Amino acid sequence: MSMANLMDHGNAMVQNHLANHYFWKWTQASGTVSVSQGSDVIEAHNLPCDPGERIRIGTQFETTVVDELEENNTDDNAMNDDAVTKYKIQDVWTEDSAQKLKVWKKDYDRVIALAKGAYTSTSVEAMRAESLFILARVYHVRQEMDNAHKFYKQACLLAAAASSSDNSTADDHKDTALAPARFGLAQTLIFQQKYGDAINELKKVLAVSADATDALALLGLLMTRDANTMPEGLGQLQKAIELDPLNPQWVILEALALQQHEANYPKALERYQKAIQLLVNKNAASKTKKQLRQQNADTVIPYNLYANCGVLCHKTNQFDKALQMYIKALQALVATMSNPDQPYSTATMENKGVEGGRIRHKDNAMFFAYLPTKCMATRDLSLSIKDDTPEDVVMADADGEEQESKRKRTWTVKMDNGQSTLGVEVADHVRLGADFESQVLQVTSPSEGTVELQLKDDYVVDENQEPKEGNSALELELWVKRENKILEIPKALTIAFNIARLHEVAGRTLAAIELHKAILKRNPAYVNSLLCLACISVDCGALQESSKWLKLAAQTAPGNPEVLTLVGNLHLSLADWQPAQKVFDSLLVKKVAKVEAYASLSLGNIYFATLNLSEKRYAKHLQYASDYYKRILQKDPANAYAGNGLGTVLAEKAEIFKAKEVFNRVREVSGDSLADALVNLGHIYLAQKKHPEALQMYKNYMKRAEDGTTPITSKSRVDDVVEVLLYISFAYFDWARHTELFNDANAAPADGRYREAMNCLKQAIAKNSKHGIVLRYNLCMTKLQAANCILQKLTRNIPRTVEEVQEALDGLNESLEVVEGLVKDKADGKKVTISSSILQNFLKNCRANISSAESHLEDEKKRAEDAEAEREIRRMAAEAVVKEEQLKRTMAQEKLAKEQEERDRKAEAKMRQVEELQEGWKQEQQRAAERKAAAKTKPPKPSEDDFIVEDPPPDASDEEGPGSGRKGLFDDDSDDDDDDDNKEESKAASEPAQKNKKVEEKDIFGDSDDDSDDDAAPKSDTKKAEAKPEEKQAADAKPSSQDLFEDSSEDDSDEELVSGSAKRGADQDASEEGPAKKRRVLEEDDDD
């Protein structure tokens, strides 16, 4: 192409191709450079460079020259043939240090000449457009964005014109010609912050090349800036990721797009983590085994990715994870700046830190390390003041305890022969053993080679560490804390600042202050740390300290809007209205968009706060405040702070309902993030006598103020909490007074509400705020009202106790003493903001209530004694009733026990009777069996015998046995009436048996002879009378052996069945023969 150009200088096509060739070609320069690992400064040997020039060192490292350093000595360079010039480059050299490396440059001047020659050599619009595109790229690389934008735009216009003149090109695609030029034009438009035009140009590029991942990613990133087009933008980014899923750059762009909106912070964090993993995998695949062994894969990740992850974790309240990410960011940054001779992350004994900015707090452990002193610290545990000194002397010595404490905190260190100094100074932090850390208060050297260290804390000896017998010394290894050099890296200060902000939010205030001061010692112009220290001082109530830091910030960055804003807020917190107004007026003059609204809002607040300074200016200031708030809302209708201010103006004008509507709208717009709206709503509810709702608003604000989520601007957090406690106490006080208006039993809750008001005031007084006098007076007034409420309980039919009256009297006495002290202070000239008339009026009412309370107390004590006596009488009567009932229960239980005992006795008797009956039945069966056996074996009597011998009839008990036994066996009734009936029945049944027995005895023992018997009665009657005992005996024997037990002898079972009439005839025959047989027996007895 060079030969073609030499042959034809007017060939535009050849010139364009040759210009494009030189645009990409690296040309070796005549000089060399020396580089150091971890440095962004190069030493150029006979190599002139211009700022913005692109160079390549070695074969891979490409960078841009930023500027020539001023420390170069031009006179020495002129005298020296090997001139050395130092340049600052854009990137850091990460490889090993090297000397006189070859340098390559790009000859952009030749590219510009060739492109201009091609443009002037032809009239073809397409070729001229290509020439302008080459020129635009050169200026783009040189960061000359205005020239680049001009040539990109002209190239696109010429390309569009060339496309429109071509009949083969459709009208719809005439604006899509030369897509690379349009992509460059979109980049320059983004640089000019013309995002809408850039989006249009990128869409034209995608119309030609839908798979252009660069255009897709950039278009998606731009569209996500607007909430309305954010879904479409995320879709474009997702398309780029799908086309090139292993490219971490597109994932990083998606994360950048997501982090623009707070709701997408978790998703953005997830995308960053995925991008980090892709980079780890990519670096692991591209590195050799040797490189992987030398360098951890995590350290090759750009530190800003870890830093962004830390910020997102910080925003989502993942404080521990955020700290881990910041530490990884520092490690990644150190890895790119590693110095083999002295790594930044390594602590040394010589690096004690910067005076006034030393880092020693344990939460900042990433910036220091404990180093061994190679010495042992010992302490003798056997020595004690009490052992060496008499007890009375020890007790009399006032400093004995202090000396003992010093002795326990003193350690002896013996240095080795090779050590000249220990390297430990006063205020150094040391560690003994593995875990005991303390600070050195004093260093002494009693002898050569021996150093005594007095520590701040006492070492508690563990049981496992107690010395053995014979050795009373405790010996531990001594370590000293020393800093590393990470903060010497300029980029590390930003990460350190983020860590300090994280400490602030997490409540680690001391660690945050220490880190901010360390940053300022390394970089005094770091304004953000100055502002943070000022804000921390305001939150802690140290306004003078805050003023000091703000003065330094104003000197460092004069005219900085953020500094002026904080200065104005400081004046507001001190109620210096005129200086604050001047500061915010100066901010309005600057016309800074972000600060103008805040300045207007502050001016509105100043006018509203000064309403009561002058009655003449009341209406004027109120109107000014309203105008400033409305002016802000006209430009930004969603400004919740301006809306809150307008609501306060409406409330001041007594337009309660409108103000309430505005405050509710503020809560809705701000997502309930503006805590001041809660307090203002509480005031509105209190004005409407809606005390529960007002208390709810105040308490919600109180929670935010205590946990630190409420932003503090014009006052300290302590004063803020005290002010809200005052609001809450007044709400309870007003609620109690409103409840007392019932003046009957419904006023009972008033006492408890007064107590709540007093509790809130006591909490506020404990905060030791500047409103102490007002708070104490309000507490006395609340006690006075509470005592009056207790004294009126009787008239309202509300019960009260002696303790309540006594407590009211004590409160009145305490209030009287406090107010008398305020009157005395006012008389002595001390500042008391309460007027004397109010104090004297209070004393008058308090004394009157004290005398009334004393009489009420006496009456209440007498009433309590009478009530106690009455309760004692009632108690004794109740105890008597209880004892009487207990006695009745005892008697009833005894009666039941006796009845149960009687039933048991009767049951036992019946059981014995049953047993006797069973035994009698067995004997009867045995006798019946014997008679049958005897009847079978006994020979028949001679016929001359008139009588036969039979067994005597059973006695009365035997005859009654079956019947009485059956009755006793089944009769369960144990009543006395039943027993009497049974007795009567047994008596009636026994009378015939007794008569039969008498007759039988008469017949047997012969009270009369046969003749007299025959003569005394007819024969038939005699036979009938004589037959009765036999019939009864047969009747008694038959049911006892057959009916009851169903038992019969073998003879009975063998006899044939006969009819009933035959059987009755046989029975009659037997009965007729009975008397004759008996007479025969008597005759035989006579013969004997």
Per-residue model confidence (pLDDT) at position 673 = 79
DSSP state of 225: T
Q: 512 with 500: CB under 8 angstroms? A: yes
Residue 177 is encoded by which pair of tokens?
A: 């010609």
Q: Is 771 within 8 Å of 726 (Cβ atoms)?
A: yes
Burial class (CB in 10 A: 0-12, 13-18, 19+), 475: middle
Q: Say how far apart CA 756 and CA 144 lie, in whole Å.
A: 71
Total Cβ atoms within 10 A of residue 132: 26
Q: 224 in helix, strand or coil?
A: coil
Tokens (6 digits) for 1073: 């023969």
What average pLDDT does this structure show over 898-912?
93
Handedness of CA 722, 728, 731, 733 (dihedral sign): negative
Between 309 and 16, the more confident residue is 309
8 Å CB contact between 488 and 343: no
486 within 8 A of 344, measured Cβ to Cβ: yes
Query: Average pLDDT for residues 405-412, to the nearest whole number?
Result: 77
Quickly state the pLDDT bin for 285 (edges 50, 70, 90). Answer: low
Q: In the numeric block, which tokens belong to residue 566?
A: 């904080």
Q: Residue 997: what pLDDT?
A: 44
Secondary structure of 4-51 as H, E, C letters: HHHHCCCCHHHHHHHHHHHHHCCEEEEEEEEECCCEEEEEEECCCCCC
Q: What is the pLDDT of residue 864?
A: 87
pLDDT tens-digit map of 101-154: 889 888 888 889 888 988 988 888 888 999 999 999 999 988 889 999 999 999
How far is Cα 705 from Cα 726, in angstroms, rounded to an integer?
14
At residue 1003, the pLDDT reads: 44
CA distance 869 to 342: 92
Give me the phi and psi of 414, to 5 degrees please: -105, 125
Q: For residue 862, what are its two tokens? A: 């007498």
Among candidate residues 948, 940, 945, 954, the one with its CA nearest the CA of residue 1070: 948
CB 12, CB 125: distance < 8 Å: no
d(C-alpha 280, C-alpha 287), whole Å:
11
- The string of pLDDT tens digits covering residues 53-80 is 888 888 888 888 888 886 555 444 444 5
pLDDT band at 998, cuts 50/70/90?
very low
Q: How many Å apart are CA 405 and CA 505, to the nearest integer? A: 37
What does pTM read for this prediction?
0.64
pLDDT > 60? residue 604: yes
State how far the Cα of 699 lies from the Cα of 685, in Å rounded to an integer.
Answer: 13
263's CB contacts (< 8 A; 6+ apart) are none
**Helix, coil or strand: residue 132:** helix
Residues 6+ apart with CB under 8 A from 178: 129, 130, 133, 155, 156, 159
Task: Give the model confidence (pLDDT) of 565-601 as tens digits.
Answer: 888 888 887 888 898 999 898 888 887 777 888 899 9
Q: How far apart are the first and last CA of the chain?
A: 186
Closest CA to 641 of 652, 625, 655: 625
Q: Would you call 55 helix, strand, or coil by DSSP?
A: strand
SS3 605: helix
- In 3D space, the residue among 505, 559, 489 whose CA is nearest the CA of residue 527 turns out to be 559
Rounded to 10 degrees, the C-alpha dihedral 21/24/29/34 comes to: -170
Question: Percent of the chain scored above 70 by pLDDT?
Answer: 76
The Cβ of residue 341 has, within 10 Å, a number of other Cβ atoms equal to: 7
CA dist., res. 217 & res. 237, Å (int): 5
What are the respective helix, strand and coil percentages of the chain, to the nearest 5?
65, 10, 25
Say if CB 857 and CB 805 are below 8 A apart: yes
Single-letter residue type at 965: G
Assess whether pLDDT exceeds 50 at residue 233. yes
Containing 308, the helix (H) or strand (E) segment is helix 303-315
Q: What is the mean pLDDT of the chain?
A: 79
Q: For a pLDDT cut of 90, what percent of the chain falls above it?
A: 33
What pLDDT score does 148 carry? 92
1026 pLDDT more than 90: no
SS3 712: coil
**Three-state SS for 445?**
strand
Read off the pLDDT of residues 621-666 as tens digits, 9 standing for 90 and up.
Answer: 999 999 999 999 998 888 889 999 999 999 999 899 999 999 999 9
Structure tokens at 824: 């005395």
Report DSSP state, residue 603: H
In this structure, are strands 84-93 and 429-432 parallel, antiparallel, or unpaired?
unpaired
With residue 1016 as reference, give the H or E element that holds it: helix 1010-1016
